[in-house]
Structure 1
């Protein structure tokens, strides 16, 4: 058996024993991709549901899908994993329930989605993939490198007069060309940067300043990054604000050490905002949090329950009105590692008590 799958099945079965359940049903895309060892089973990009489901029992491992999807899943998504097919008809709910009941009692089945009258406990399954395996880390590094390349190439090609929709299209094209799914693409230009923290693209044309944001998925894993591009010299005030947000981002990165409570990292960030002269800015947008198989598993807050784990990804995204700093990092016992490192890009050097840290500067063109 695939060693990665063997470990993950053991995790699910341990959960079943702990909660005295007979079976687990996984139907949400993040959990499906995790157990599929990187296989993706999405159709609409605006849905978190996979188009097949896994069922795990004490001794069984099944792929549950209708006739439309089964062949594609077997040929392209879960090939080689050894999941036994449980086929149902797309038009016959009774046949689906019968197939499920042939291997598990829905009333004694935990699920992440609540389908088929199972007990919905998504909170039990998400933590199983907070810490990435070494195999997943390799996939994640490759994803981060490709996402940064798509972003970098797009930003280097921007021209005044392009609409935000056109910029979003260029970024999406470059992501797809690298076998990445652009699950979030946000673009703001000029005044919209200071007005909106989540800027959906519009028909507005770029004049001097652009903010470009990407969340890209591959093998079920997601990275996030933001870059800023300015045509012509930037003002002293924008310089001050970007240096400040890079200092806050550095604090978040270097505080993300294995074993540290996430709420403590958040509180350090709030103190960092105050130290750089922008005490209230953290209240204007969330600061990000742990990620991996979701854009964010949960947000960092003053009361967040989580503790940083070995090989746990984070995407912090501090912002100060008019600018932002964001990359995806990995917490390890060797220290923080940037998964989406900027290449051939100007960098801000931030001196911290823990040493020198580099954050992407505003690209001036």
Structure 2
């Protein structure tokens, strides 16, 4: 299945080259490299946007361009055997520049790229559009990430305490993901104080206090999944109601996330949902999410995003009301949604919300330590 999916992807890229009246395509960005190889990491530092290993299509040939430092790792650890057998390696000495090896393949040819390097035509936006609909191997990866993310939240969050610092919470969450071979691209920790102050709280050396929610963006094989879970250490009916109102706003977004619907139309429904829970201005304070995939948000929805949703898209909506947040990652199907990060087997307690004829189960805010 993977080999056929890869061949189909190469066929799509060759058509792009033809449509752009070019003869070669160089892919260097980490998101695009992971997409075309079904998950290979062409980077070394986790925050890289452009990697040190490159993917080249020239006429009927497909190459991996890599220096001698990365060759063995890419071939043995990053590429599946099915894909490794479909490409040729062009290795060069680390002290050489990319152009030193690339020119022998493309000099005199019309070159496309996702960086604009070497006077090439930048087609990064077109590649992004191709990334947005996932193939079955990618969906299976997402399901695996989501299952593990849910298990980590369900196992760890009940063990936290009000006396812990945000740093300590971040440390334990990060360790749990790393132990499972998942890269925590982002771990935000919101204690009692910070949840009121910031929409993006980078953890600090302050105690969590009476309430806590944790938001993560985690990556495997290039795909990034987002999820948030919330707990209370002291029962507070106001926070419980607000959390459920927040879940309702997300549920409205999800109920409208179906093939044929435009992102800006979903965004307008989100704004109405905030008003329906008497929080009409909260959407001003933070973006509401949108399409996910090889970036935490491939497309952030707003009034102008007219992308039409399709089966195979992944969405991650993240509505917030000051102090609370509701967020998970969903696969859009022809006839509904599949929650990737809150599976039906989850042990995390849920709250059911009715939106028209649709019932959506969202993770509830959990009261810990029997507070009453």
Instruction: Measure, in 2, the Cα distance between the counterparts of 1:122 and 1:8.
Output: 16
| Matching residue of 2:314 | 313
Matched, 1:359 2:365: no
| Matching residue of 2:6 | 5
| Matching residue of 1:304 | 305
Q: Deviations over 1:101-123 (max 9, x none)?
A: 22223862111122333222210
| Matching residue of 1:54 | 55
| Matching residue of 1:109 | 111
* More displaced 10-residue stretch of structure 1: 120-129 or 215-224: 120-129
CA contact (8 A) 1:131 1:312 kept: yes
| Matching residue of 2:196 | 194
SS of 1:13's partner is helix
| Matching residue of 1:209 | 211
SS of 1:246's partner is helix
| Matching residue of 1:350 | 353
CA contact (8 A) 1:250 1:350 kept: yes
Q: Which runs of 4+ in 1 moved over 4 A?
A: none
Q: Which runs of 5+ in 2 are unaligned?
A: none
Instruction: Measure, in 2, the Cα distance between the counterparts of 1:150 and 1:211.
Output: 14
Instruction: Measure, in 2, the Cα distance between the counterparts of 1:87 and 1:188.
Output: 46
Query: What does 1:65-104 align with in structure 2 at a 5 Å threshold?
Result: 65-80=66-81, 81=83, 82-93=86-97, 96-104=98-106
CA contact (8 A) 2:283 2:319 kept: yes
| Matching residue of 1:45 | 46
CA contact (8 A) 2:290 2:316 kept: yes
Instruction: Measure, in 2, the Cα distance between the counterparts of 1:153 and 1:134.
Output: 29
Deviation of 1:305 after TM superposition, in Å, equals: 2.5
Deviation of 1:79 after TM superposition, in Å, equals: 4.7
RMSD over aligned Cα atoms? 1.5
| Matching residue of 2:158 | 156
- Are residues 191 and 290 of structure 1, via their aligned partners in 2, closer, same or farther at CA, if it must alter by over 3 Å? same
SS of 2:188's partner is strand
CA contact (8 A) 2:255 2:358 kept: no
- Are residues 295 and 203 of structure 1, via their aligned partners in 2, closer, same or farther at CA, if it must alter by over 3 Å? same
Q: Deviations over 1:247-276 (max 9, x none)?
A: 110001111001111110011111111111
Deviation of 1:183 after TM superposition, in Å, equals: 0.5
CA contact (8 A) 1:106 1:118 kept: no
Q: Which runs of 5+ in 1 are unaligned?
A: none
Within the candidate set 110, 122, 126, 1:120 is matched to 122
CA contact (8 A) 2:215 2:229 kept: yes
CA contact (8 A) 1:28 1:50 kept: yes
* More displaced 10-residue stretch of structure 1: 190-199 or 99-108: 99-108
- Are residues 222 and 334 of structure 1, via their aligned partners in 2, closer, same or farther at CA, if it must alter by over 3 Å? same
SS of 1:290's partner is strand
Instruction: Measure, in 2, the Cα distance between the counterparts of 1:207 and 1:265.
Output: 35
Instruction: Measure, in 1, the Cα distance between the counterparts of 2:8 and 2:158.
Output: 42
Q: Deviations over 1:105-143 (max 9, x none)?
A: 386211112233322221011111101112211111111
| Matching residue of 2:254 | 253
